[in-house]
Chain A
């Protein structure tokens, strides 16, 4: 899909879900793998730009690696509360609940979309359903589902 403006789309997702923060992480190039947050809406600061996300580490890394959505409705009561420093984005953006979904290209995860709230129990399974309903089959050049070839 040409001329897909991710910034506008990220803003719209945030408006639609009435969320505090939406972030989009993408891999930078095909061969030299580097996953970073590229687009943000509702961010408190620009620290998200600093992180180089590692496959398997942090929210984006875990979703990227496993290829499954991750939903934590209340971080304080979750098991990650003990090692929040491994989730710097949670600390710096003061996230209390979030969901993150993988975005696909050629049956590989190429991006991660994070929807977060600064209130606990604000993001739930219901939010996930709404998001998937809103996005439909694709988001820009990414598929929202893993396509079986």
Chain B
């Protein structure tokens, strides 16, 4: 490396300051702006910039809207300017910008001269990075959603092919055989066999249709739908679901019923598949704040912060999405080897109130 003279270094630093895409502010210990580079001038609203240059206001607070702390996304508590002892080598700050409103920036804030108490505040625009991340996330989600949809279709198609079509073919063969039979006893025997096949077929179709959308949910409400579903789970997977329900009313709005049903179904199925226990507790209750669903097992549990994805990885996200759509709140608590609790709360308007409401409007 060539030894640089101080003059050369100075000229490099000056050029960097002038041409850098990062916004650079020099501040004193009173948070007054001493200097700012052209990039910094570019992001600040002209009227604010003018008053900074004219000496009217010269505090960062005139365009800063807060930073992201561990507790809050945008906050002024323990401001980076006030607590220089805390580590602010890299954090996110929200600024009021020219023409673009409030925009997040990656920022660093540290002192450059202890004696003169000069601080440097540097900012890098995160918008592009955010957009890339967001579209990446969206693409991945879309991919997974499409995949899940295809899998579901595959499952239904296979079910139709394997059970319904096969049983029908076997029935068809039985019918052909029947045509050539003349002994009454063997005809009766053959008809019995066909009857059994038909019964099986009937059950398969019923199962398939209930699995797609339980009619009991629309006709009889949550409790009835749950009872049918839990019986089905017990027959198929051997788990016992203990349901306790203290709902005051039978029916809620269809969106809420669907959300509660699907979230509970997913939670119970997760417990069935992954918890390793055969006892699952479901609690349905209602209070002044709304409808509450608790699904609890005392099984394997998992690390909530870094769950090991075993299935499609869509389950928990899907539950959260359903919760969000109806304005509900979903929480997942889990401790390895102690079990998992899913807690879902949703504000409700009863059907009766809703109807009164609608009638008043019409």
Contact call A106/B193, Cβ cutoff below 8 A: yes
> Please, which residues of chain B bring their CB within 8 A of the CB of A65?
166
A134 within 8 A of B: no
Among candidates A30, A88, A92, residue contacting B196 with C-beta atoms closer than 8 Å = A30
A-B contact pairs, 14 of them (CB 8 A): A31-B192, A31-B199, A32-B199, A47-B238, A50-B234, A50-B238, A50-B240, A51-B235, A57-B236, A65-B166, A85-B237, A85-B273, A89-B238, A108-B193
Indicate if the CB atoms of B199 and A54 lie closer than 8 Å.
no
Q: Which of A42-68 contact B (CB under 8 A)?
A: 47, 50-52, 54-57, 65
User: Once bound together, how far apart are the Cα atoms of A33 and B167, in whole Å?
Assistant: 13
Take A30-B196, A55-B200, A85-B272 as given contacts and tell me if A106 and B236 are in contact as well, using a CB distance cutoff of 8 Å: no
Which chain A residue has the least Cβ–Cβ distance from B234?
A50
Q: Which residues of the other chain, B, contact A57 by a CB distance below 8 angstroms?
A: 236
Q: With contacts defined as CB atoms under 8 Å apart, how many contacts are there between chain A and chain B in the complex?
A: 48
Considering the complex, which residues of chain B in the window 229-278 have a beta carbon less than 8 Å from any beta carbon of chain A? 234-238, 240, 272-273, 276, 278
Given A85-B272, A92-B278, decide whether A51 and B236 contact each other with a Cβ distance below 8 A: yes
Please give, as numbers and ranges, the residues of chain B lying within 8 Å of A56 by CB-CB distance. Answer: 162-163
Name 14 extra pairs, CB < 8 A, besides A33-B196, A91-B276: A27-B196, A30-B196, A31-B199, A47-B238, A47-B278, A50-B238, A50-B240, A51-B236, A51-B238, A52-B235, A54-B204, A55-B204, A56-B162, A56-B163
Scan B165-203; emit 1 where CB is below 8 A from any A CB, else 0: 010000000000000000000000100110110011001
Q: How far is the CA of A120 from the CA of B276 in the complex (A)?
A: 20
Task: Report A79 CB to chain B, min CB distance, Å.
Answer: 15
* In contact, A88 and B199 (Cβ under 8 angstroms): no
Q: Residues of B contacting A30 with CB < 8 Å?
A: 192, 195-196
Shortest distance from the beta carbon of B270 to any chain A beta carbon, whole Å: 10
Q: Give CA–CA (A85, B200) in the complex, Å.
A: 23
Range for the number of chain B residues in contact with chain A: 20 to 34
A54–B236 touching, CB < 8 Å: yes
B-side binding surface: helix, strand, loop or mixed? helix
Assess whether B235 is in contact with A50, with CB atoms less than 8 Å apart. yes
* A30-B196, A31-B192, A106-B189 known; A88+B163 contact, CB < 8 A: no
Residues of B near A85 (CB, < 8 A) are 237, 272-273
Known: A85-B273, A108-B193. A33 touches B237 (CB 8 A): no
Please give the distance in Å from A116's CB to the nearest CB on chain B. Answer: 16
Q: Which residue of A lies closest to B162 (CB)?
A: A56
Of the four ranges (under 10, 10 to 19, 20 to 34, 35 or more), the interface on chain A belongs to 20 to 34
- How distant is the Cα of A32 from the Cα of B200 in the complex, in angstroms? 8
Within 8 A of B (CB), among A86-108: 88-89, 91-92, 106, 108
CA A89 to CA B237, docked complex, whole Å: 9
Docked CA distance A31–B166 (Å): 18
- The chain A residue with its CB closest to the CB of B191 is A31
Give A51 to B200 CA distance when docked, in angstroms.
Answer: 16
B193 / chain A contacts, CB cutoff of 8 Å: 106, 108
Chain B residues whose C-beta falls within 8 Å of the C-beta of A47 in the assembled complex: 238, 278
**Interface pair A31/B238, CB less than 8 Å apart:** no
Q: For A52, what are the chain B residues with a Cβ–Cβ distance below 8 Å?
A: 235-236
B192, closest chain A residue (CB):
A30
Contacting residues, chain A, for B203 (C-beta < 8 A) = 33, 54
CA distance A57 to B236 in the complex (A): 9
Q: A11 vs B240: C-alpha distance in the bound complex, in angstroms?
A: 28
* Minimum CB–CB distance for A59 against chain B, Å: 13
Residue from A30, A85, A92 with most neighbouring chain B CB atoms (10 Å):
A85
* Minimum Cβ distance to chain B for residue A10 (Å): 20
Nearest B residue to A27 via CB reads B196
Provide the bound-state CA to CA distance between A37 and B163, in Å.
Answer: 21
Shortest distance between the CB of A108 and any CB in chain B (Å): 6
Contacting residues, chain A, for B235 (C-beta < 8 A): 50-52
